[in-house]
Amino acid sequence: QQPVQSPQAVILREGEDAVINCSSSKALYSVHWYRQKHGEAPVFLMILLKGGEQKGHEKISASFNEKKQQSSLYLTASQLSYSGTYFCGTERSVNAGNMLTFGGGTRLMVKP
């Protein structure tokens, strides 16, 4: 079942902050975050695992509430380069083998 992302779109000025949410109705093992610019490949940002482990880029901040099956991605002091569509992808078990179920995406536009 596809996770639900909110908001669907957000517009920021450079330097502003944003939070993108990802919510599932099923128990999750992990949440993955990717950013995709128009016409380009999705690029990995972060993985959050059940139990608290995180893998990803240092400048990215995210949280995973296992009980609520929710994850949030925190974008602080946004830059123009942050513009793009953000997708969360979820795995329901430890043996899911990276077969992710992606949400519908959150479009972020950062303006000067």
Partner 1 sequence: GAGVSQTPSNKVTEKGKYVELRCDPISGHTALYWYRQSLGQGPEFLIYFQGTGAADDSGLPNDRFFAVRPEGSVSTLKIQRTERGDSAVYLCASSPSGGANTGELFFGEGSRLTVL
Which stretches of the chain bind partner 1, using CB under 8 A? 2, 29-30, 32, 34, 39-44, 47, 49, 55, 87, 89, 91, 94-105
Q: How far is the CB of 3 from partner 1 (least distance, A)?
A: 9
Per-residue buried b or exposed e for 6-39, using 16+ beta carbons within 10 Å of the residue's own CB: eeeebebeeeeebbbbbbbeeebebbbbbbeeee
Minimum Å distance from CB 36 to partner 1?
8
Nearer to partner 1, 15 or 104 (CB): 104
- Shortest spacing between CB 56 and partner 1, in angstroms: 8
If the CB atoms of residues 97 and 112 are measured against partner 1, the closer one turns out to be 97
Q: Are strands 9-13 and 106-111 parallel, antiparallel or unpaired?
A: parallel
Among all chains, which residue has been given the structure tokens 């002091």? 77
